[in-house]
Structure 1
């Protein structure tokens, strides 16, 4: 069976991308990453996301939401991952139907996830028990972290897991774009570096990983099956981390500079692999399903 996006889904994706390009393009991204000190959440951008329906996409229209489904949410979060949009996006989205103001972006919601809390200091509401939270140095300069000492990991939420996979897919797609653009324009020995076989193979591998992950993530959004979501999560995590590393390889030392967003994608991709149960939980779920089929 062939799955294709509808015209409305394409319009949604383009609308979210346009909003993020206007409000959080490469310039603001680099400025925020290189500002120094604890990152601050842009409340005006958060409210703009709320007004655009980003947090209320899956909330029924009768409750003031947009009334769409999981596939549309995946498209929106893929664009957020592509833009490296900071903030507790998934926690606020999941709280849209229960926490007043979350759907409109007036309330910022964070959540305890596996003993970690993203954006605790900037959140108006923290779901879970944040008692004893201590600041933790974050690998990603745009994602402040707190650690809950002695906290017990909660059972991962399948929707949170899928939306994390969608963000990882966004990163995998973006770093593939950045690598191919650089390979076409950067010259060595009088030729674009993309003309060299080693670089061409790196770019091809990025494209294959991104498109494989895309098929799995979109399919999981349609079925909402936990096993499909686990598979999509594994493929998206691998695509994001491996492709960001390969993108750095294509860029060389330039990829590590603050003028480049490449290293920021790698850091965010690493951080996301620890969310919503992480890689181990997904592997265990797939293994259990395979053993059950073989029994």
Structure 2
């Protein structure tokens, strides 16, 4: 199977990267942090106008008419730029929630694990609820109490409503979230390498030291393995492959951000640096749509099923 990008796919990725660099560069990112994570409705409408949310909607319905592989490329770039907001839920709602495809409506989802279960604290969490016009798969917008979030750009709210309304979208949601995580993992590789080339100790760039070289090399391997699994799952849309892609992407995003912080040293922990934002976002995304435990259970069930089929033949 050939997973090399076509010329059209390469152009799509480059176009999205240019769009986000111009509209959501570092100054906009820091402004989002300073605003406490409030959603920029103007940016949301621009994303809608660019076809971000209607990418997989058929052309006869006013969409772009592309598929999961193209959506994965677009979401990878969004993850690279740390673009905030319920991107996945609004994309999944295109064609079913009025205004979602155009970016005039913000749609969130019950995509986080249910802390109201054993040992939980009384209800599921919903991201960006205060900015949302709808919740995916539910007829009404629930009320919720704000809770502290690890990520300053992902405000969270605890609601009393049941949290399984987005179950029908879980595989697609997990795949697109894996794309966001993969984009973040690739971006932290770039940040680490750049800093290692610029920062000097003992009269030479720290990137000349073997320990730093090893860290950067390990980060690159993690990110590329996650990206390979992501692209394969986008082509097959197999639930087990999607689970594997999410598992690898979550690990790559979290561990790469941590290693990037190590390359930066104390500078990486300062509020002015962006590295910690990648780590905090990766922590939140790792709990969205399909957690590591859920992915491992699904993969184990698939392996057991294949083992039983092999034994029966």
Tell me the TM-score normalised to structure 2 length: 0.90
Aligned counterpart, 2:22? 22
For 1:94, the equivalent position in structure 2 comes to: 92
Q: 1:125 aligns with which of 127, 134, 142?
A: 134
Q: Which residue of 2 aligns with 1:141?
A: 152
Q: What do the CA deviations read for 1:72-96 (whole angstroms, capped 9, x no partner)?
A: 0000000000000001101100000
Aligned to 2:249: 236
Where 1:170 maps in the other structure, the secondary structure is helix
Question: Which whole-Å deviations, capped at 9, do the CAs of 1:136-173 have from their partners, x for residues lacking one?
Answer: 11110001101224745453610000000000000000
Structure 2's unaligned 5+ residue stretches are: 114-123, 309-313
Superposed counterparts of 1:247-286, under 5 Å:
247-286=260-299
**Cα shift readout 1:39-85 (whole Å, capped 9, x = no counterpart):** 21111111110010000000000000000000000000000000000
Matches of 1:27 and 1:253 in 2, distance apart? Answer: 22
Contact 1:30–1:258, Cα closer than 8 Å, also in 2: no
- What is the alpha-carbon distance in structure 2 between the residues aligned to residue 150 and residue 110 of structure 1? 14
Q: Determine if contact 1:82/1:173 at 8 Å carries over to the other structure.
A: yes
Measure, in 1, the Cα distance between the counterparts of 2:290 and 2:147.
Answer: 19
Give the superposition deviation at 1:265: 0.1
TM-score by length of structure 1 reads 0.96
Cα distance in 1 between the residues matched to 2:181 and 2:60:
32
CA distance 1:280–1:130, change in 2 (3 Å): farther
Partner of 1:219 in structure 2? Answer: 232
Name 1:157's counterpart in structure 2. Answer: 170
What residue number does 1:5 align with?
Answer: 5
Which residue of structure 2 lines up, in the alignment, with residue 42 of structure 1?
A: 40
Asked if the contact 1:130/1:148 (under 8 Å) is kept, the reply is: no
Aligned residue in 2 for 1:176: 189
Note closer, same or farther for the CA distance 1:131–1:44 as it changes in structure 2 (3 Å cut). Answer: closer
Contact kept in structure 2, 1:30 and 1:260, CA below 8 Å: no
Q: 1:112 aligns with which of 110, 113, 116?
A: 110
Partners of 1:277 and 1:217 in 2: CA distance: 14
- Structure-1 separation of matches of 2:161 and 2:104: 32
SS class of match (1:157) = helix
Deviates more, 1:112-121 or 1:225-234: 112-121
Structure 1's unaligned 5+ residue stretches are none
Measured in 2, the distance between the counterparts of 1:106 and 1:150 equals 25
Identify which of 51, 54, 60 aligns with 2:52: 54
**Number of residue pairs the alignment of both structures matches:** 293
Q: Is the 8 A contact 2:253 2:282 kept in 1?
A: yes
